[in-house]
Amino acid sequence: MRASVSLRLKMAHRAVDFCLSHPDHEPSRNQVSARLAALLARADALARQQRTGTVTLAAAVAQKAETLKSLRLSLSAVVGIARAARPTTPGIAISRVMPHKRTDEHSFVTVVRVTTAGATAALSQLAQFGLSDRLLDRLTRELDAYDTALARQRDATAAQVGATADLEVVASAIITVVKNLDAINRSRFHGNPDLKAEWKSSRKVGWRVRPPKSRRDPPS
């Protein structure tokens, strides 16, 4: 979570706690504090979604890397067999060159699929060079596992990015509602300097770096 968002959410928690400790019996003003509580609940849910996406993404990346090692090893065996068979089976549609380690994921998956299909079609010709159903089955399983890891990574990235963007929007909306509450409470606690000071402390964002104008704490 971005520090600027985290600081605003901490402030919102303090502001909501203050509102709960000092309820306003005016229904119209209560609507404002209720909006703040609803926004904070939404922000907390998004923060959990963002954190889950981060953890899931890390696990998916690790799973993908581990699966890739096995997949490249099996692919290397098939490519090596095709290379050994080249003098007697030059027409077999199998690449005899391993894809570079920097090959993008989409291109790599395409190469593996084409190689698997070609090897399967030429199994009877390549059996004498060591190709077997077992090797092809392993290659297929590892490719499926790699596809699953890629999909998991994409989903986790989308969830994380979406939650991060939504959190920024909600955090900005929280500041707007707190400014609304600040205007109310300045008048409400005009004759009570203790509560006025307590509210002022609750709604203050502890900015570490001076924020952009749109994100500043309500005016003192």
Q: What is the pLDDT of residues 175-185, one digit of tens each?
A: 999 999 999 98
Rounded Cα distance, 194 and 39, in Å:
27
pLDDT at 218 over 90: no
- In the numeric block, which tokens belong to residue 44? 């907390």
Neighbouring residues of 95: CB distance < 8 A, sequence distance ≥ 6: 79, 82, 111, 114, 115
Other residues' Cβ atoms within 10 Å of the Cβ of residue 129: 15
pLDDT at 33 over 80: yes
Q: How confident is the model at residue 204 (pLDDT cuts 50, 70, 90)?
A: confident
- In the numeric block, which tokens belong to residue 120? 């399967």
Give the up-direction half-sphere exposure of residue 137: CA atoms within 13 A in the CB hemisphere: 3
Give the up-direction half-sphere exposure of residue 36: CA atoms within 13 A in the CB hemisphere: 27
pLDDT (tens digit per residue) in 95-137: 778 888 888 888 899 989 998 998 998 899 899 999 999 999 9
